[in-house]
């Protein structure tokens, strides 16, 4: 039982770390870049 619990805890930690890394990437510029691209596309369509 204790070994299985440890494995589950390790898996949870790995998932949390991956999610945090993804959020950091989005904050650093992934989201901003996508938003800017979307705005540019809309402006092109209007013209």
pLDDT band at residue 35 using 50, 70 and 90 as cut-offs: low
Encode pLDDT of 7-24 as tens digits. Answer: 999 999 999 999 998 888
Residue 35: strand, helix, or coil:
helix
- Report the alpha-carbon distance of residue 25 to residue 30 in Å, rounded: 6
Share of the chain above pLDDT 70, in %: 68
The encoded tokens of residue 21 equal 């890394």
What mean pLDDT is reported for the chain? 80
pLDDT band at residue 47 using 50, 70 and 90 as cut-offs: low
How many C-beta atoms lie closer than 10 Å to residue 30's C-beta? 13
Cα angle: 42, vertex 39, 26; to 5 degrees: 140
């Amino acid at each position: 039982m204790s070994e299985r619990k440890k494995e589950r805890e390790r898996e949870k930690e790995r998932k949390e770390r991956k999610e945090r890394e993804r959020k950091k990437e989005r904050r650093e510029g992934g989201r901003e870049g996508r938003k800017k691209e979307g705005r540019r596309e809309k402006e092109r369509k209007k013209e």
